[in-house]
Amino acid sequence: MNHLERKTLIVGNWKMHLSVHQSSLLVHRLTERIKVHRNVEVILAPSMLALQPLSLEMDHRRFQLCAQDAYPKDEGGYTGEVSFAMLGSLVQYCIVGHSARRIYFGETLEMVRDKVEAAVRNGISPIVCIGETKQDRDAGQSRQVIHDQLTTALMNVTSRDLEKVVLVYEPVWAISTFDGIIAKPDDVAKAVAYMRMQVRELYGERAAEKVSVLYGGSVNEHDVRSYLEVPGVDGALVGAASLNYHQFAAIVDEAYRIRIKAEA
Ligand code: 13P
């Protein structure tokens, strides 16, 4: 399978930033700057509060909406939570297992597994974040961590449902709010190849080629190209740089250029 059969996905994770008004303004600015390309999907992950208003006002040909997290039970006495079932009609994607959730909120492998399953059950594509900490890396445990996170997350996903799943290699040490060490494209290539190999072992060759795998960790308009050119990388999960419309639009532009050149 040619990698061009997979779309390029650029995801902006706004984390706990921007009020509803600021979110609206950012979408407005991005709408002026971002063109539509059938093979490049631009996915925005604002705060939970901004999802509904943005959904009503944004151009759905240009952007897809993504939640940053949700609760795996469909309904019940879970005060303070929002379920995937509730988000089903609002978002196409939901980030699952982001390292901030694993680290600050004690999200376990099993919780991530249940969220992936709930997302798929409710017609939402989970964007599953996989990545080792600096401590894991220093201890030579990177592969073990990637293996454990990936295999548990996909435990209840059938091969048919795997088509809805997006995987991200997002090493914690590379995220701007953690250690912010710039990952070498070679290291990203090795980790992504390892992730595809895991998928191959679980679901076979065809699935391993079809599944989308993104890279995340301090991606900006200057280094995005070096990651998008890594074989097997289908896009980027962008944090800090997605809050600035110049930077985010420039990242999307790079994705267009690479795509147009490859398709020519
Ligand atoms: P930065 O791009 O700010 O490193 O954030 C990455 C991230 O956590 C995206 O989910």
Q: What is the pLDDT of residues 96-134, one digit of tens each?
A: 999 999 999 999 999 999 999 999 999 999 999 999 999
Quote the CA–CA distance of 251 and 13 in Å, as a whole number: 14
247-259 pLDDT, tens digit each: 999 999 999 999 9
Q: Which atom of ligand 1 is nearest to the CA of 241?
A: 2
Q: State yes or no: pLDDT of 263 exceeds 90.
A: no
Q: State yes or no: pLDDT of 3 exceeds 80.
A: no
Q: Which atom of ligand 1 is nearest to the CA of 217?
A: 4
169-198 pLDDT, tens digit each: 999 999 999 999 999 999 999 999 999 999
Give me the percent of the chain exceeding a pLDDT of 90. Answer: 94
- Spatial CA neighbour of 194 closest among 100, 125, 130: 130
Residue identifier of the C-alpha nearest atom 7 of ligand 1? 239
CA 77 – ligand 1 centroid, Å: 32
From the candidates 41, 98, 117, 254, give the one annotated as an active-site residue. 98
68 in contact with ligand 1, CB cutoff 6 A: no
Cβ neighbors of 159 (< 8 A, separation 6 or more) are 203, 204, 207
Strand 8-13 versus strand 40-45 pairing type: parallel
CA 109 – ligand 1 centroid, Å: 20
Quote the CA–CA distance of 205 and 67 in Å, as a whole number: 30
13 in contact with ligand 1, CB cutoff 6 A: yes
Contact between residue 113 and residue 152 where contact means Cβ atoms under 8 Å apart: yes
Quote the CA–CA distance of 247 and 250 in Å, as a whole number: 5
* pTM (predicted TM-score): 0.97
Counting DSSP H helices and E strands in the chain, the numbers are 12, 8
Residue 170 annotated in active site: yes
Q: Which atom of ligand 1 is nearest to the CA of 98?
A: 10
